[in-house]
């Protein structure tokens, strides 16, 4: 979990949102609470790490609509849906739309803490992956055409001598290209090179 991660709680029931905030804060987790979705949207910044706990039924913008708006903003904030028993079908819709999990009221504290922990860990992994992708893209921009060819051949598992023949250079030159491209990419393993090649080809999922 990022040290500055925040759990946003959006629920029109003051008792519910305050009890959730008290539970999370007792575990040292930063929280911000909102009575409705519009107030959350005005305060939210996609750059801030964390997750969202939202009731599916809210005045004005519903929990599902809020989830949809976040997706349109390309804000990949993990979403945990809170629902009453009668709202389980709606919670299932939220799950199909990408929500991480849903919790029925009245919720069990331990269950809520477990799901929040999963959400914050997911968000931290995603942000780390984005940072790594940014680093690799910056390195890719510095590669020469020959280094880029070597990158893709390494990722494909092509032997150095085959790559050398393709480029019309010696095997030692291919090895030198590989060392240089690893340095430029900040790559520490073959996995990093494969990821960089996927990014360069625009095929990474």
Domains of the chain as residue ranges with CATH? 6-130 (3.40.50.2300), 142-201 (1.10.10.10)
- Encode pLDDT of 131-176 as tens digits: 888 889 999 999 999 999 999 999 999 999 999 999 999 999 999 9
Mean of the pLDDT values across residues 24-51? 94
- Encode pLDDT of 59-117 as tens digits: 899 888 999 999 888 888 999 998 876 577 777 778 777 888 888 888 899 999 999 99
Instruction: Output the pTM of the full model.
Output: 0.74
DSSP string, 55-121: ES--SSS-HHHHHHHHHHTT----EEEEE-GGGHHHHHHHHHTT-SEEEESSPPHHHHHHHHHHHHH
| pLDDT at residue 34, as a whole number | 97
Mean of the pLDDT values across residues 174-182? 93
Percentage with pLDDT > 70 across the chain? 96
| pLDDT at residue 165, as a whole number | 95
């Amino acid at each position: 979990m990022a040290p500055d991660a925040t759990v946003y709680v959006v629920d029109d029931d003051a008792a519910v949102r305050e009890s959730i905030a008290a539970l999370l804060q007792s575990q040292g987790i930063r929280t911000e609470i909102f009575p409705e979705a519009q107030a959350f949207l005005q305060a939210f910044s996609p750059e801030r790490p964390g997750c969202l706990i939202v009731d599916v039924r809210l005045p004005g913008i519903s929990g599902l609509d809020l989830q949809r708006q976040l997706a349109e903003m390309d804000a990949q904030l993990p979403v945990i849906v809170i629902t009453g028993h009668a709202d389980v079908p709606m919670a299932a819709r939220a799950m199909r739309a990408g929500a991480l999990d849903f919790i029925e009221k009245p919720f069990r504290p331990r269950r809520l803490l477990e799901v929040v922990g999963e959400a914050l860990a997911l968000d931290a992994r995603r942000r780390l992956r984005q940072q790594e992708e940014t680093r690799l893209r910056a390195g890719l921009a510095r590669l020469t055409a020959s280094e880029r060819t070597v990158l893709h051949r390494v990722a494909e598992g092509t032997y150095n001598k085959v790559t050398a023949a393709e480029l019309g250079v010696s095997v030692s030159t291919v090895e030198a290209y590989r060392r240089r491209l690893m340095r430029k990419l900040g790559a520490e393993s073959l996995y990093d090179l494969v990821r960089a090649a996927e990014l360069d080809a625009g095929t990474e999922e």
